[in-house]
């Protein structure tokens, strides 16, 4: 078992300082150019793929296209996705109506390259837009411990202080033993969500059916403010309603959503992924290139 001398290695401290500086620069960039980029996302060639309407407007003037390339060169396309989604997402964090769900899932499905849905097998969550909060690591097999979750000192520095939950996840251990522990089990715990399955309409009347449906169900969760997105599985039930949060994310999920620091909470969209052939890998996801 790897032993780590420090949970805050020096380079990890520098990484966090650099990340904070980068976020500050990015926020200032959007304060100055956000409205201009929003128009580019809706009117430029790169932004056409973000529109929900199948009708393509006329191409922008050549000077606008050049300006777009200059401003957005090497820029994260997920940020443009967030700008396009901001037009569809309600100002307050509340359940989406059917039209909002349809428009948002269409945008996400087209731009991420896989089908995203608010309902599958006549089952839907109580909401698809809510506040996510940070969760602890989960025990993956009997005898598992917090140190074993880190593959490196960098891992430990980023995720070790999240701790490990005293109890098991909703489905128990991810693997029956250390010997049977697979990479699939590892990825499921690494990228897990806690979902309020107990609030799903019809859950109490169909516990067995719903339990089987939700077990490790693949989902997309996306930071509605930044466009940072992660493919994860349902690995636990929660959080409790009194917390004011609507779902929870593993330390790694929160990190890749850009919500691992400060209050460790923020508004996110979350939907089922229709992936019958298991072709969509778990982990961070970027907007695919326009075909």
Distances (CA, A) of 137 to 42, 130, 192, 193, 211: 40, 21, 9, 11, 21
Task: Tell me the pTM.
Answer: 0.77
Do 267 and 129 meet the contact criterion of CB atoms below 8 Å apart? yes
Do 232 and 253 meet the contact criterion of CB atoms below 8 Å apart? yes
Phi-psi bin for 171: left (phi > 0), alpha (psi -120 to 50), beta?
A: alpha
pLDDT in tens, 266-282: 999 999 999 999 999 99
Question: What is the C-alpha to C-alpha distance for residues 173 and 189, in angstroms, rounded to an integer?
Answer: 10
DSSP string, 47-88: TGGG-S-SS--PPPPHHHHHHHHHHHTT--HHHHHHHHHHTT
Rg (CA), the chain: 20
Distances (CA, A) of 220 to 33, 36, 73: 28, 28, 27
Residue indicated by tokens 């790897």: 2
Question: What is the C-alpha to C-alpha distance for residues 90 and 224, in angstroms, rounded to an integer?
Answer: 11
- 238 falls in which pLDDT band (50, 70, 90)? very high
Question: What is the C-alpha to C-alpha distance for residues 262 and 116, in angstroms, rounded to an integer?
Answer: 30
Residue indicated by tokens 């202080």: 161
Element (H, E) at 228: none
Q: Is the pLDDT of residue 174 over 90?
A: yes
**Mean pLDDT value across residues 132-157:** 96
**Mean pLDDT value across residues 114-123:** 96
Chain mean pLDDT for the chain = 82
Nearest Cα to Cα of residue 285 among 140, 116, 63, 121: 116
Q: Is the pLDDT of residue 290 over 60?
A: no
pLDDT in tens, 21-74: 555 555 555 555 555 555 554 444 344 344 444 444 444 443 333 333 444 444
């Amino acid at each position: 078992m790897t032993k780590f001398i420090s949970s805050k290695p020096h380079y990890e401290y520098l990484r966090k300082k650099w990340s904070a500086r980068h976020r500050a620069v990015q926020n200032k960039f959007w304060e100055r150019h956000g409205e201009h980029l929003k128009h580019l996302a809706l009117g430029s060639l790169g932004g056409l793929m973000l529109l929900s309407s199948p009708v393509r407007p006329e191409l922008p003037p050549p000077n606008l296209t050049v300006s777009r390339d200059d401003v957005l060169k090497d820029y994260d396309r997920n940020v443009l996705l967030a700008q396009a989604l901001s037009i569809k997402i309600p100002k307050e964090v509340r359940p989406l109506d059917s039209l909002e769900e349809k428009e948002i899932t269409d945008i996400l499905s087209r731009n991420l390259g896989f089908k995203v849905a608010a309902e599958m097998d006549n089952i839907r969550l109580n909401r698809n837009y809510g506040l996510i909060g940070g969760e602890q690591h989960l025990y993956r097999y009997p005898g598992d411990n917090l140190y074993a979750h880190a593959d490196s000192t960098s891992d430990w520095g980023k995720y070790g202080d999240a701790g490990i939950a005293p109890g098991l996840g909703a489905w128990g251990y991810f693997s029956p033993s250390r010997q049977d522990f697979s990479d699939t089990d590892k990825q499921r715990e690494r990228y897990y969500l806690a979902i309020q399955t107990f609030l799903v309409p019809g859950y109490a009347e169909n516990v067995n059916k719903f339990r089987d449906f939700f077990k490790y169900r693949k989902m997309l969760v996306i930071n509605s403010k930044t466009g940072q997105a992660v493919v994860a599985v349902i690995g636990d039930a929660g959080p409790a309603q009194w917390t004011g949060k609507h779902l929870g994310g593993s330390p790694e999920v929160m990190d890749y959503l850009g919500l691992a620091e400060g209050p460790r909470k923020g508004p996110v969209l979350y939907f089922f992924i229709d992936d019958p052939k298991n072709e969509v890998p778990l982990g961070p996801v970027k907007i695919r290139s326009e075909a």
